[in-house]
Chains A and B, each alone.
Chain A
């Protein structure tokens, strides 16, 4: 079943690329508008062999990873506390709600003024976006725990600490992963926006560079890489979700 699905998907992509190549060569005289896949591959090769690609790709991946990792730690901790203590929830709520509703694009300039052109400002952007998602979802997961599991814990006389990491956190795990999954897509967008606005490295920088020099094959390379990054991170999280919560039907995408 799955094999067949995969094969069809792959064939579909190959066919699409072929069609694109043929149409681009036949119909368009200027490669600037829509470069054929072969030019995109050439451009990719050139960027890769000069080490440029590696540098920019690594910058974005690192910014993303640092921000995401920090958001997981802080998000789970704050979300846990908000789920456990009503007063803390009420204290935090207006701030989280505000953070959640501000579009990232409006705060990116501020973040860049505060934290500079370099990596740190992008890490902060990723952190802000992902942390909010994880906090909200972790808190929801902690709040909605099945009370009978807490009774089980109590009847077995588990300590508070054991109840936290053997019952509450695993019970909230599917919610936490949902928060991560929601965070990934938005954080990827955020980091690119920040790099587009002001940066000295990263895929967003490459995108701006390509756009300013009218280098459309390079633009396409960047777009494809970003898509790949998105797909890989989504798949990793989905795989992680299946491994961590095998009893759950995988969420619809």
Chain B
């Protein structure tokens, strides 16, 4: 069997709690992702999805376990640039234009600037923003800012793209359009994607596999392959298999929420 692009072994993170007991965010996470796979992680609020993604990227350090990319163990944020992170809020630098925001990760790496510029322009074009190179973030809509955010992560040509609820702050309509855009962009780049969301239909629409986390401390509760053909569009949401999977996942999350003490505890 080929070496998986990403492998998490017994990954856990805890922080100092109020008492003597440490506060366990998640533990015992084992996950294998193959090259080019689109994996979504869903789970009840507070299950540590976002923290898990940050630990994978090295933004936070794990308290236990190992992370392997292409079979090589990762050692936090000092290591090589192998992953791109798409932040929940667009997290663009307001003093940089779209183009310069996308260039941020390239400047230090690419020796000759015209080359880096060409790459940045290419990715802005890919996310549908050609013509907006010289716009500042405050001149762009929320959806456009997320496109720049995505282009910035893609431009460094990462092996894995980590996306942290990237469409959570968008209105429902923009969100749907962005999902379709992501499907198109993914089909063109074929990057491995780990996508965190709390929206089950979004996870199913986009992914090859949906991973459900349990309530805190987060563990992998279940995994579901998505049995739907690509390319996909919004119509697939009324497909019987889509609806069944959505119900199954929803029931699972509902159980988790109940086990955690009910909706009121959310």
Contact = CB atoms under 8 A, between A and B. Distances in A.
Do A and B truly interact?
yes
Interface of A: 148-149, 151-152, 154-159, 162, 166-167, 170-171, 173, 244-248
Interface string B37-57: 000000000000000001001
Nearest to B105: A156
Given A173-B95, A247-B138, A154 B58 contact: yes
Contacts of B95: 170-171, 173, 244-247
Contacts of A173: 95
Interface of B: 54, 57-59, 77, 79-81, 83-85, 87, 89, 91, 93-95, 104-105, 107-108, 136-138, 152-153, 156
A130 B80 CA distance: 43
Contacts of B104: 152, 156, 158, 166
A247 B137 CA distance: 8
Contact of A162 (B81, B87, B108, B156): B108
A170 B93 contact: yes
B93 A155 contact: no
Given A159-B108, A246-B136, A247-B138, A149 B91 contact: yes
Nearest to B88: A148
A152 B80 contact: no
24 contacts: A148-B89, A151-B59, A151-B87, A152-B91, A152-B93, A154-B59, A154-B77, A155-B59, A155-B153, A156-B81, A156-B104, A156-B105, A157-B79, A158-B104, A159-B108, A162-B107, A166-B107, A167-B93, A170-B93, A171-B95, A244-B95, A245-B95, A246-B95, A246-B136
B61 to A, nearest CB: 12
B177 to A, nearest CB: 24
Contact of A149 (B83, B84, B85, B93): B93
Question: What 9 pairs across the A-B complex have the smallest Cβ distances?
Answer: A156-B105, A155-B85, A247-B94, A157-B81, A148-B91, A247-B138, A154-B77, A170-B95, A152-B91
